[in-house]
Structure 1
Amino acid sequence: MRNRWLALVAVALGTLMTYLDNNVVNVALPSIQRDLHLSISGLEWIASAYILVFAGLLLVGGRLADVLGMRGTFFAGLAIFTAASVAAGLAGSQEVLIGARALQGVGAALLTPTALALITELFPDPRERGAAIGVWGAVGALALAIGPFTGGYLSQHASWGWIFLINAPIGVATAVIGGLSLPPGRRSHNRTLDLPGLATSSVALFALTYALIEGEQRGWTSGVILGAFALAAASAIAFVFVEARTEHPMVDLNFFRSRVFSGGLATIGLWAFGVFGIYFFTAIFLQNVLGFSPTEAGSAFIPMALIMAVMATLAPRLEARFGAGPAVAAGMALMAIGVAGLATVGEGAGYTDLLPWFAVFGVGGGLLVPLNNVVLGALPPARAGMASGLLNVSREVFGLLGITILGAILANRQHAATGAELHRFLSGYQFSLVIAAVLVAAGVPIALATLRRIRTPQPSVEETPVPQPQPV
């Protein structure tokens, strides 16, 4: 028992590292640009190289965890990520920093799906697993608070290199704790890697992520972006074709017939749409409209993230009492209300005007944490790595879609509005949040329709047959 919860500490620390690097860099970019004399293009690639590689290899990381074993994959990802973080912190040129960021993405793609899959293996009883995933989700929520604040504080008061170097002691501590507590881990009976599936899925995700990141800068109708979207579509079609015909598919397409699994992925995607959008554009709003410093803007999210972390630990109890469908639907509704409320805050507002809506959003976001347990529980334990990979792909791709779509809406609204630049930005920001609130609210009926029969606590795995895909 003690080793399992100690292992959860290692898993949570590994997750903390990857989540931090998802959002720690943005507020430090001006300092990096000054020190390394970067072009705008170089600056963009420092931010996007990590996301591009991370999202592109998530399915690969999940499958390797199933085939090669979760413990080994976890430590491989941890070693790559920690070494790449040190290289990024010591980088003296644009090329070295971009390369190190891409290598961080490789490590994160191995760490992230493996971490969640390890929880499934460590805690086979659904009640204990729900509590463990609640702790894991709370750590992720804390990372959302620590990231912007850490990036802002270190870039303002110390060297930007420390935003990467702080991963070194965390990585060492994770390795020591994990070495003492993580089990050898079981491997899938099917150890075939399905190289065509790995290749087509990676190309599809790389191309789609690249198009979403570069579309605004290059123009959505440019040949490069249209070509990237076309490559993503062609690769996705090829992936489905390959997986439907191979004897040992990387992703069994029959799993998508499961109402719970498919509905859970859609809901987590809409959750990511709201979270990524609110963090990205509200950080700009706080600095450009309300005049917050980078450190103040990063600090502004801390109460919301703390509330989310507390609710993440309480959410499994609410799920056990009311069922996953109502709990998740309530979380999505509260998130939508929080986003819509922020759209009413205008110029001249203070932090006290934002706090109530941040709090509502935090409560709702915390209620979504058990959704990870529901999605993983919908598939056989032997495919936990694949399920975790798909869950993370849904989160990352929908999050990028959120930033892209809301950014395009904001820009179009800003161009159409009249008056001073500040008022035009505010008009676009408020309108984009209204759209985000509507899309997040769409997760309410999806959760109620697809998760309505899921309730915890359930019998232990030893007493329960392996879940089979449910017909649509």
Structure 2
Amino acid sequence: MIPPASRAGSPYTVLVVMCAGYFLVLLDVTIVNVALPAIGSGLGTDVGGLQWVVDGYALALASSMLTSGTAGDRYGHKRVVLAGLAVFGAGSLGCGLAPDVPLLVTARVVQGTGAALLLPGTLALIGRAFPDPAERARAIGVWAGIGSLALPAGPLLGGVLTDGPGWRAIFLINVPIVLLALVCSVAVVRESRETTAHPLDLPGLLLGGLALLATTSAFIEGGRSGATAPDVLAAAVVAVLALAALAAAERRRGDTAMVPPALLRRPAFGAANTIAGIMNLCTLGTLFVLLLFLQSVQHRSAFQAGLTMLPLFTPLAVCALLGGRIASRVGARVPATAGLLVAAAGLALLTRATAHSGLPLLVPAFLLWGLGVGLLTPAVVAAAIAAVPAERSGLASAVNNTARQTGGAIGIAVAGAIAGTPSDEPRFLRGLHTVAAGSAALYAATAAVALVLLPGALSLRRR
């Protein structure tokens, strides 16, 4: 059993406030994607530049997440969450005022760093507020469901703001929300930290960030200038060397590493995080290409594109709650396996999309896709947290989110490189079909991993 965190409010009050932070992070994902064509035309950048706008946020989020989770364990999750909110708000303001793409990407990196400070602490504080495993699994389902409300809200709100005051408003709207969340967090949540927290792994942070940056750069620039371009080859070499150095450094640090090797040897923990990474690799990569398709190929407005995406994001939000309840009763295996197969079916339908495809094709594809990911998300989160000792809850949530954001960053880079520019419509459509088919196949293959390695029931006690 996990000893409860010291708190000013009830567990459910803490849950609501922490969900607000998670809502901000997910809102930024979808609200930005729907505005990408407007950002491209407003700042005069190509698909590669738009990939950096999205991945600047994702790279900072993924590379800082592990250190942020450990920092919360060591210095206090509330303190780190408050810092994350402040940094995220400052980055949002910078994005809204950025005059060009380099400064916009820089501000997106600041935003991502704030999100990395914020995200692990929200889940860790929820875990401490609900020490009973079954209640914790249900609370995680609520966390995923409320956070996922940002997904359908993002395209609609992003469409309204982009078609109205302009794309800068999608960033500036974060500022008042951050201020409100800061006030509520100070009032409701008291500090929670681990008595045996490990020191920060700064070499791991730098090497991991370098490996992820080089990998993403190789894919994005490869899509622009070809796989054999000197800068692409150099980025690939840097990625390999950084990964090798990271592996060696983590082995030397042992239990004080960002991800202790002993945790990775736990089959359920490794499987949960691998599945989480593949989930976002396929979902965010396909979503990046799909929103360009809806606006640049099918010539929908930003709001029309957001409205078209509702059949994807609405069941994702609703089914996240259902997935958490299922995981609390029967474990992660059933909802994760079912979610992967259902999502694969939805993505497979997108291989038939054309420039003239309407709702009869798109709605069933989006519904299946959203249903599958909605069942999958809380299952892999619950499995990852249940697979580690109670005192590593911050690390567990950070690893799971890092896996998801790393997969998403690489997925956007790969999908954009495959699809190319929407102005070359025949190639872009072939690329969309390739991305959708590859994602469906990868989801189906990953279902076998979930069926074999994820737990059939959450243990009543932590391992």
Normalising to structure 1: TM-score of the pair? 0.88
- Counterpart position of 2:16: 9
Q: Secondary structure at the match of 1:341?
A: helix
> Structure 1 residue 262: deviation in Å?
0.7
The superposition leaves residues 398-444 of structure 1 with CA deviations (integer Å, 9 ceiling, x where unpaired) of 223333334444459x9xxxxx9544433332233112110111111
Q: 2 CA distance for matches of 1:47 and 1:444? A: 28
1:49-448 maps to which residues of 2 (within 5 A)? 49-92=56-99, 94=101, 96-246=103-253, 248-368=256-376, 369-410=378-419, 422-448=425-451
Q: 1 CA distance for matches of 2:401 and 2:296? A: 31
The one-letter amino acid of 2:442's match is L
The one-letter amino acid of 1:303's match is P
The answer to whether 1:454 aligns with 2:456 is yes
The answer on whether the counterparts of 1:25 and 1:151 sit within 8 Å (CA) in structure 2 is yes
In structure 2, the gaps of 5 or more residues are: 1-6
Which shows bigger deviation, 126-135 or 54-63? 54-63
The answer on whether the counterparts of 1:52 and 1:210 sit within 8 Å (CA) in structure 2 is no
Q: 1 CA distance for matches of 2:183 and 2:407? A: 34
In structure 1, the gaps of 5 or more residues are: 415-419, 468-472
Shift of the 118–433 alpha-carbon distance from structure 1 to 2, 3 Å rule, reads same
Q: 2 CA distance for matches of 1:80 and 1:246? A: 30
The answer on whether the counterparts of 1:406 and 1:436 sit within 8 Å (CA) in structure 2 is no
Question: Percent of aligned positions with the same letter in both sequences?
Answer: 36
Shift of the 35–336 alpha-carbon distance from structure 1 to 2, 3 Å rule, reads closer
Q: Secondary structure at the match of 1:292?
A: coil
The one-letter amino acid of 1:263's match is A
Q: 2 CA distance for matches of 1:40 and 1:423? A: 16
> Structure 1 residue 342: deviation in Å?
2.2
Q: 2 CA distance for matches of 1:423 and 1:191? A: 53
Normalising to structure 2: TM-score of the pair? 0.89
> Structure 1 residue 300: deviation in Å?
1.2
Q: 1 CA distance for matches of 2:44 and 2:365? A: 39
> Structure 1 residue 375: deviation in Å?
0.5
The one-letter amino acid of 2:269's match is F
RMSD over equivalenced CA pairs, Å: 2.7
> Structure 1 residue 379: deviation in Å?
0.8
Q: 1 CA distance for matches of 2:265 and 2:85? A: 34
Q: 2 CA distance for matches of 1:7 and 1:279? A: 32
Q: 2 CA distance for matches of 1:404 and 1:37? A: 19
Q: 1 CA distance for matches of 2:317 and 2:33? A: 22
> Structure 1 residue 7: deviation in Å?
1.5
Q: 2 CA distance for matches of 1:195 and 1:37? A: 37
Shift of the 91–288 alpha-carbon distance from structure 1 to 2, 3 Å rule, reads closer
Shift of the 365–40 alpha-carbon distance from structure 1 to 2, 3 Å rule, reads closer
Q: Secondary structure at the match of 2:199?
A: coil
Q: Secondary structure at the match of 1:238?
A: helix
Q: 2 CA distance for matches of 1:433 and 1:41? A: 20
